[in-house]
Amino acid sequence: MSMHRVLTTLCCTLTAVLATACSAAPPTEPVRPAAVPTKPVQPAATTLRTHDGPVRGAAHDGYRTFEGIPYAAPPVGRLRWAPPRRAAPWSAVRDATRPASACPQPSGEVPGGSTDEDCLHLNVTTPDDARPAHPRPVIVWLHGGGFTTGAGSSYDAHRMATRGDVVVVTVNYRLGALGFLAHGGLPGSGTFGLADQQAALRWVRAEIGAFGGDAHNVTLAGESAGGYSVCAQLASPAATGLFDRAIIESGPCAGRPDRPFAPSSIPLSTARAAGADLAAKVGCGSAHNTLACLRRVDVSRLLAAQATDQQPAHTTPLLPSDPATAIAAGHFHHVPVLLGNNHDEGNGWAAGIVQAGHPVTPDTWPDVAATFFPAPGQAKAIVREYPVRRTDGGPVFGAVVGDADFACPTARTDSLLAAQVPVWRYEFADEHAPPLTPGRPPFPLGAPHASELPYLFDLGGRTRDLTAAQHRLADTMIDYWTRFARTADPNGPSSPHWSRRTVLSLAPDHIVPTRTAQHRHHCAFWNAFG
């Protein structure tokens, strides 16, 4: 396997691995406004009625969960590669005490993968005392995973719901070729997964009131591919009126397809070429009716044939232009935004390539740089800007990936958005963040891609291994995120002040605003390459 293939594969699977490698902590005590009840509080109902039918959830200590609720019809048969349709209603009480199937994907975050196309479901976590009469802010979470892997059910949101006093919705959406196939004459080409996200948001506007959520205060949030999905929804005319604030974690809107580590979008023409290649691989390239043939292909065969990289297509009705272009032109939904990146985003990929048998040394560094940055003159400039002077050059390669694909595009996204809407920007900088993958890395990873997630969610149902200081940081981050969802301002009386003109550095016992993040990350150098 080539070096490029090894690292690109790691790019798509890193976020998926964390769900089984990261761990979870016991729930914290919820923070709620003080009140003296005038009568005993009745237990919260676990059976609720939606417009589609009644659902029965599960009661926990201080919160309730409703899992596996369909927000759209199963995209099977003629609905494979069709815009999402409304789910069929039901009359009997639907069991919502366990998650439904993840969308089709290879093995990784989902043990053994999934081939079940009946996957357009969502999960709701709500504080125990949330009621329609006193609705809570809503956070809709879009998972990462390179648009290839992931599931909403991997993100246990009970700490965010109870401490932040918010309703959290986690969403499954179509992935891989099933979510982003493009073909001439196929409505929705290249954007079916994004259309699913919009269908989930429409469900939230219509139904979340029954769960104690405020349908008029919805924050769309996500990480990595999920964060870039938020960018796409900001730029999508079809998402008008579907959300009121946005949170973008390590998925900057300025991502580019020529830098293969961060998510991005591609032109429809490029997506159609990839679709034609897929059709040929599964034996449908010369069929009289290519789409009919593709709809008969077994899911496992499609998964085996799809490209490692997946991106949504722009120059489409749902996404008329690349999100960065749309935002620069002011053609986006003007809502407040909280966004950021991690201090050492690229270290996970750098460690993976070293462990795969490709050390980064002064001798190999020019070839490594040229492999991933092949534009004329670019690799030589990178080697000069980021010199490798020792046999262990992994952290240098990690810094290049982190700066080029995350830190500097995040700074660019910040500047584009802040010219027109309120923006709060952070940098997660816990250099001792729990490792995301098993085993001993070849060098300390610091705060790599996705390492902030265990501070917000319990991942994979495992016990987190956080220090007392890290637990305090997790609480503070949840406070910031949920206050932003409540009021569009993350600041509160007990946390360090977060100015819109600075980057808030988030580390245990060291939460400080800084103006130096962009300079640390060589952004002037990367801006010179466009």
In the numeric block, the tokens 């990929």 are attached to 349
CA 219 from centroid of its chain's CA atoms: 14
In the numeric block, the tokens 């919502």 are attached to 96
Q: What one-character DSSP code corresponds to residue 285?
A: T
Residue 288 designated active-site: no
Helix H, strand E, coil C: the string for 294-318 is: HHHCCHHHHHHHCCCCCCCEECCCC
Q: How many CB atoms lie within 10 A of CB 356?
A: 14
Task: List all residues 6 or more positions away from 106 whose beta carbon is below 8 Å from its beta carbon.
Answer: 113, 148, 149, 303
Q: What is the C-alpha separation between 418 and 243, in angstroms, rounded?
A: 18
Query: Of the residues 154, 224, 250, 264, which is catalytic?
Result: 224
Selection from 25, 173, 52, 50 nearest residue 102 by Cα: 173
Quote the tokens at residue 190.
């290249």
Residue 345 designated active-site: yes
Q: What is the C-alpha separation between 281 and 294, in angstroms, rounded?
A: 11
Q: What one-character DSSP code corresponds to residue 403?
A: I
Quote the tokens at residue 129.
């005392």
Strands 155-156 and 121-127: unpaired
Beta bridge partners of 505: 427, 512
In the numeric block, the tokens 């100015």 are attached to 499
CA 111 from centroid of its chain's CA atoms: 20
Query: Of the residues 345, 358, 505, 522, which is catalytic?
Result: 345
Q: What is the C-alpha separation between 160 and 177, in angstroms, rounded?
A: 32
Residue 117 designated active-site: no
Query: Of the residues 449, 452, 505, 521, which is catalytic?
Result: 449
- Which residues does the annotation mark as catalytic? 224, 345, 449
